[in-house]
Structure 1
Amino acid sequence: MTGITDDTDRWLRRFRPSPDATARLACFPYAGGAAPYFVPVAKMLAPSIDVLAVQYPGRQDRRGEDCLGSVEEIAEQVLPGLRRWADDSLALFGHSMGASVAFEVARRLEAEGTPPRALFVSGRPAPTRNRDEGIHSLGDDAFIAELQNLGAAAAAALADEDLRQMAMPSLRADYRAAETYTYRPGTDLTCPVHALIGVDDPVVTEDEAQDWQHRTSGPFTLHKYPGGHFYLDTETDDVLALLRRTLEV
């Protein structure tokens, strides 16, 4: 991992720097997730694709910072760190809440005249189809049960009381941001948008994912994989193959 050298670098981690890469991919974690989730992705895509993993505040080495309350606030604060990479090589990938954050970042880059090369949105309904199921307001036991239903790796760790105390604030803040996110009409995209879902994901239907096509004037594709909300953990090879086919051109 490269060292944190300035304020904007708090947001980005390069676990396998690839300075000669022909494409760059900024990866946005799911609610409660963190940048190291994308360490395997960075290793497997190097050296042709340089991976930037986003680290949200309120967890791991940013545990002392306050979590952010909305998707838009997260997008605004990560944007300065990404501007230095904003050329025709930069694509964005987000899973679950991260897809909404990546979309809002893409809109801002589009408005600034530096649209991303492509946007990959995984495990997330289109912005106009977002719904608040109130999970962020549940008591601890019910909240953890919901995480278990989704197959979240963090759910097992939360059985430990000390880990629960550390992790619960960022989990709740992220879920609140994700569930209360509301699409505001404005700049949409010109870049290709690629939606990815697990066929058994209870969080997003095929119809809800298909609606991402209305957020760009560019090409749109929908890709379906075996599995649930965290299909990425088992279908990694096929997802990486899609990223290579799309970006290694």
Structure 2
Amino acid sequence: MTGASATSATLWLRRFHAAPDKGPRLVCFPHAGGTASYFFQMSRALHPFMEVMAVQYPGRQDRRRESPVEDITRLADLVTRELATAPPRPTLLFGHSMGALVAFEVARGLEHAGIAPFALITSGRRAPSTSRAVARSLNLDDDACLVDELRALDGTHSQVLEDQQLLDMILPTLRSDYRAVETYTYVAGQPLNCPIVALVGTNDPQATIDEVRAWSKHTAADFTLRVFGGGHFYLDAHAEAVAEMIRGTSTGDES
């Protein structure tokens, strides 16, 4: 794995630090093109208080020889199957961008299986029930278009964007993930029984505050909206505050 080694791992769920014997579990879902190791710093901040696991999607890092899953619902089903067999703990799901959609569908799947999550925390993603008057569709076959998108979101180091060898490694996976997001269709159903906490940056081009507030329609429990300064990857600048918010959510104290 890039940038970190796991103390334990399954094919889907990675744990970078030893977990306490008791306490809640946090499961993190990466953004499009993202990897489990994106959440290494979050794991380091939270592992004394809870078990922190990150999902490793197929098609990247040590799973790069596997084909990416280009269907959000199918991807969620596969992760749900893994979590359903995990030792029981109060489980919080945290998803950023594409990961928010996967986490949402996993929450639905777990509730259907009678394993209700403790909370769903979404980040940088508009609610599934929202739609935009003018849908923006990327030309997924154009590498330059994908690179421009990465620059606009400001979540990829400029040195990576100038290195063709690295781009050749990451663009196929990014293309597949974007295809999964663009083809995702929300199927209306019962709202979740767990609380939803929705996070967003003030200048996120992919999710306005109103679009994120619409996550409130997807829960029959409490809803909390948290706004941070920054763009789509506001997380990088507010990692400590987000970690503290997650810890508060796990104890029922979000203040």
TM interval, shorter chain, is over 0.9
- CA–CA distance in structure 2, aligned partners of residues 105 and 20 of structure 1: 24
8 A contact 2:8–2:16 mirrored in 1 = no
Partner of 1:134: 137
Give the direction of change, closer, same or farther, for the CA distance of 1:88–1:54 in structure 2 (3 Å limit). Answer: same
- CA–CA distance in structure 2, aligned partners of residues 38 and 91 of structure 1: 14
- CA–CA distance in structure 2, aligned partners of residues 87 and 24 of structure 1: 9
- CA–CA distance in structure 1, aligned partners of residues 143 and 210 of structure 2: 31
Letter of the 1:140 counterpart: D
Partner of 1:2: 7
The gaps in structure 1 that reach 5 residues or longer are none
- CA–CA distance in structure 1, aligned partners of residues 25 and 179 of structure 2: 30
Give 1:21 deviation, angstroms: 3.8
Does residue 72 of structure 1 match 2:77? Answer: no
Letter of the 1:15 counterpart: F
1:1-20 paired onto structure 2 within 5 Å: 1-4=6-9, 9-20=10-21
SS at match of 1:194: strand
Return 144-153 or 13-22, whichever deviates more.
Answer: 13-22
- Residue deviations 1:107-126 (CA, integer Å, cap 9, x gap): 00011111100000000000
SS at match of 2:25: strand
TM-score (structure 1 length as normaliser): 0.93
- CA–CA distance in structure 2, aligned partners of residues 170 and 35 of structure 1: 14
8 A contact 2:93–2:107 mirrored in 1 = yes
- CA–CA distance in structure 2, aligned partners of residues 36 and 50 of structure 1: 15
Letter of the 2:56 counterpart: Q
- CA–CA distance in structure 2, aligned partners of residues 150 and 30 of structure 1: 12
What count of residue pairs does the alignment treat as equivalent?
Answer: 245
Does residue 226 of structure 1 match 2:229? Answer: yes
Does residue 43 of structure 1 match 2:20? Answer: no
Could you tell me which of 226, 240, 244 is aligned with 1:241? Answer: 244
Letter of the 2:27 counterpart: A
- CA–CA distance in structure 2, aligned partners of residues 208 and 239 of structure 1: 20
- CA–CA distance in structure 1, aligned partners of residues 125 and 25 of structure 2: 22
Does residue 104 of structure 1 match 2:105? Answer: yes
Give 1:182 deviation, angstroms: 1.2
* Greater share of residues in helix: 1
TM-score (structure 2 length as normaliser): 0.91
- Residue deviations 1:14-65 (CA, integer Å, cap 9, x gap): 0012132411100000000000001111111021111010000000000000
Cα-Cα RMSD: 1.6
Poorly superposed stretches of 4+, deviation over 6 Å: none
1:1-249 paired onto structure 2 within 5 Å: 1-4=6-9, 9-85=10-86, 87=88, 89-130=90-131, 133-135=136-138, 137=140, 139-153=142-156, 156-248=159-251
- CA–CA distance in structure 2, aligned partners of residues 233 and 54 of structure 1: 19
- CA–CA distance in structure 1, aligned partners of residues 73 and 54 of structure 2: 18
Give the direction of change, closer, same or farther, for the CA distance of 1:184–1:64 in structure 2 (3 Å limit). Answer: same
SS at match of 1:185: coil
8 A contact 1:86–1:114 mirrored in 2 = no
Give the direction of change, closer, same or farther, for the CA distance of 1:78–1:130 in structure 2 (3 Å limit). Answer: farther
- CA–CA distance in structure 1, aligned partners of residues 111 and 88 of structure 2: 11
Letter of the 1:2 counterpart: T
8 A contact 1:130–1:179 mirrored in 2 = no
- CA–CA distance in structure 1, aligned partners of residues 216 and 186 of structure 2: 15
Return 34-43 or 83-92, whichever deviates more.
Answer: 83-92
SS at match of 1:127: coil
